[in-house]
Amino acid sequence: MTVTIQTSVQITATVTLSEGHLRALDAMAGYGADAFLKAFYIKLGRHYMKPFERDLRDLFTMINNQVPAALKGVRDARKNLGLPDDTRAR
């Protein structure tokens, strides 16, 4: 008889973001992971971010794939309702 035991620990988080937060993420990720990492490493060094570089790239990909469409939906809804497009920083 063979028994295989695997143990794992996971954590996930659900974060609620305001429109301003989403716009900030969109702007930050809009530069691309390479440009962001280059600036980060020049200004703050590699020590803290380097172990999470792949995760940051995944995060930027997710942001770039989902956030612009969500923000466009908000703009379109405001336009259809005759409301001003409030894109200013909060």
pLDDT digits 0-9 by tens, 50-75? 999 999 999 999 999 999 999 999 99
pLDDT at 89: 43
19/7 Cα distance (integer angstroms): 39
* CA separation for the pair 38, 86 (Å, rounded): 31
- C-alpha 16, offset from chain centre: 12
Is-contact 49 56, C-beta < 8 A? yes
Residue type, 68: P
Give the pTM: 0.76
